[in-house]
Structure 1
Amino acid sequence: MKNAPFHSLKKTAVALALGSVMAVQAVSATELTVYTAVESDDLQKYAERFNQAHPDISIRWVRDSTGVMTARLLAEKENPRADVIWGLAATSLLMLDKEEMLEPYAPAGVENLDPKFVDVNNPPAWVGMDAWVAAVCYNTVEGEKLGVPMPTSWEDLTRPEYQGHVVMPNPNSSGTGYLDVSSWIQLWGEEKAWEFMDGLHNNISRYTHSGSAPCNLAGSGEAVVGVSFAFRAARLKSQGAPVEVVFPSEGLGWDMEAAAIVKGTQNLEAAKTLMDWAISRDANELYNEGYAVVAMPGVAQPIENYPADIVDRMINNDFSFSAVNRDRILQEWQRRYDGKSEAR
């Protein structure tokens, strides 16, 4: 018993020492500021999987829709705030690369990716993660109640019975909105595409500033038809929403979520570590939990509510065209249609 105070003091000293070590480790952990347009409900999962492999690097997410995040990065060109971009449209990264805002880096294992998902420069300025694909959400309950049939094509959405029942993302703020507009131009040429969008505009009730919002509105019955993307549509249907996922017959626009290092980062080695992990098999398996098309061949498994031939339905997307003509297309779209956009 006379040694009890000594043992108590010894345990206290050990505990304090361990606490000091943990505090030093916490202080020494590198924090990466990561800009993203990934859906909010997936960000925690991404960070947790990465931290299982690299507990010494923490992620501070900064998230917004594709258009807003792209504009923010461009505005911060002379004073970058981000270390890494993880999950932004490849068309946006092509723009940023043109402005010399990306740090070229070939992540370990990049040779294992489908070449379509890797920037053509050597070393690449960016690498792809997965592809998100245009789709339409159709509320079966509201459609039947209001006498609005389920569409099967893009052209269907210009028919009189859809007037006031269609919601679509604003392409100035939403990457999904822009891939729609860009794909229609690539499918039909500029003249016919603008004629189509004039007809579509007559039936639009509002343009949202989020690519997932139109599907969410259709899922909740606030709209009959939501022009959105397949991942959100499929997830809502799996969760029991009264929606059908429509893949229009003319072809599906798409874009890649991609990752890159921001030039000027003070955490270059940690940023490279994140990029290495972002193209790993583990990461690609994670992307496949929501996306049917991922960068690493042989990884993708079928996704519920996706057609087996989803890749065949995707248009032959010209990313260079989409990037080079982005400002011009968006200005014309805004001039014609912005009056129905939601307030920011």
Structure 2
Amino acid sequence: MKLFKSVLALALCSVIAGVQAQTELTVYTGLEADSLKKYAQRFNEDHPDIKINWVRDSTGVITARLLAEKDNPRADVVWGLGGTSLLMLKNENMLQPYKPVGFDRLSAQFSDQAPEPSWVGMNAWMAALCVNTIEMEKKGLPMPNSWQDLTQPVYQGQIVMPNPSSSGTGFLDVSAWLQLMGDDAGWAYMDGLHKNINRYTHSGSKPCKMAATGEVPIGVSFAFRGVRLKHQGAPIELVYPSEGLGWEVEAAAIIKGTTKTAAAKTLMDWVVSPKAMKMYNEGFAIVALPEAAKPVKHFPEHAQELLIDNDLAWAAEHRQAILSKWQQRYDGKSEAQ
């Protein structure tokens, strides 16, 4: 009996020691909230000694928070934030360069190509329209096929889209329109679209969710959310406008100043691993490791061919000016935060 108690005590001590030895990483993210548990669990299958403490909000909010904390960083790692945001952080000298194991196998289009990369891509999310077919028929509305279609008077008050100041999806749309159409024509297009906007949300997912429940017929959102809602039986069709789709890369980086560099590097190695890329591919058709990409139901075939030639560096450089101009012109229809 004494021997059993001794063995039990030793076992308990080992467990306690293991818990005490666990490194905790503060990870800032713009990932969808319903993805966080899965991402952490998959990582912990391989690295149970590292605990992830998520700090999650929309892309714009997380980006602003990181910039505000520049002189006193609270995050160790960013996992799942737009590449444009990480380019801004890199320009502010806030990222710790690190080349993860397997980096050379990633698509150059979706990662930092500096000799010492500061951020790595995970997957690309792309614009889409979520269209409620029941509401469209009920209201006698034609199915839109292009961005320009959304400026037709028949859609007045029938469209919801994300605010680009708080939503990465909203910003990728605005950035894409300016790159596709040019500055003057791009802002003229947004003037026309604004007339038909019911409201601007502070979440990239919300317009699609609103369309799925019939609150509005058309939500300007992104394909991942639309695909998931369609899987769940929502009466929506996904429309990929004919002019081309804005997109953004979800990416990861180590925040300069972390005292947990070894654990942060371990996480970054895992972020670009084949296992992680297969996990991203469960919801995204385009991932940074091309060999890991398999077709995803309800995504278009050859999804990458629909993407515009997106200049992420230009978007990062002009982000603040674009947002300032957008707010002056359109913020009156934004929902309260």
Fold shared, TM-score > 0.5 on shorter chain:
yes
SS at match of 1:325: helix
The corresponding residue for 1:289 is 282
Equivalent position amino acid for 1:215 in 2? C
Tell me which residue corresponds to 2:302.
309
SS in 1 for 2:292: coil
Per-residue deviation, 1:223 = 0.9
Paired residue type of 2:302: D
In the alignment, the residues of structure 2 paired with residue 114 and residue 153 of structure 1 have an alpha-carbon distance, to the nearest angstrom, of: 29
**2:174 alignment partner in structure 1:** 181
RMSD, aligned α-carbons: 0.7
Aligned to 1:74: 67
- Offset of 1:278 from its aligned partner? 0.2
* Corresponding position of 1:300: 293
Rg larger in 1 or in 2? 1
Correspondence for 2:231: 238
Q: Does residue 339 in structure 1 map to residue 309 in structure 2?
A: no
Q: Which residue is 2:33 aligned to?
A: 40
Q: Give secondary structure in 1 for the equivalent of 2:200.
A: strand
Residue 203 of structure 2 corresponds to 210
- Which residue pairs with 1:196 in the alignment? 189
CA distance, structure 1, for counterparts of residue 260 and residue 28 of structure 2: 14
Shift in Å, 1:118: 2.0
TM-score (norm 1): 0.97
Q: Which among 126, 136, 143 is matched to residue 133 of structure 1?
A: 126
- Aligned residue for 2:316? 323
How many matched pairs? 337
SS of corresponding position for 1:79: coil
Runs of 4+ in 1 over 6 A off after TM superposition: none
**CA distance in 2: counterparts of 1:164 and 1:318, whole angstroms:** 32
Partner of 1:4: none
Cα displacement (A) at 1:10: 2.5
Amino acid at match of 2:180: L
Give the counterpart of 2:256 among 251, 263, 273: 263
The answer to whether 1:86 aligns with 2:79 is: yes
Tell me, in whole angstroms, the C-alpha distance in 1 between the residues paired with 2:109 and 2:193: 32
Q: CA deviation at 1:147?
A: 1.4
- Using the TM superposition, give the Cα deviation of residue 12 of structure 1 relative to its aligned residue in structure 2, in angstroms: 2.1
1:28 maps onto 2:28 in alignment? no
* 1:110 matched to 2:103: yes
Matched residues in 2 for 1:13 and 1:220: separation? 60
Q: Over residues 266-317 of structure 1, what are the superposed CA-to-partner deviations in whole Å (9 max), with x where a residue is unaligned?
A: 1000000000000000000000000000001211111111111211110000
* Structure-2 separation of matches of 1:280 and 1:170: 33
CA shift digits 1:98-124 (9 cap, x unpaired): 000000000011111111122121210
TM-score (norm 2): 0.99
Where 2:71 maps in the other structure, the secondary structure is: coil
**Secondary structure in 2 aligned to 1:326?**
helix
2: distance between equivalents of 1:209 and 1:318?
A: 24
Unmatched tracts of structure 2, length 5 or more = none
Moved more, 284-293 or 16-25: 16-25
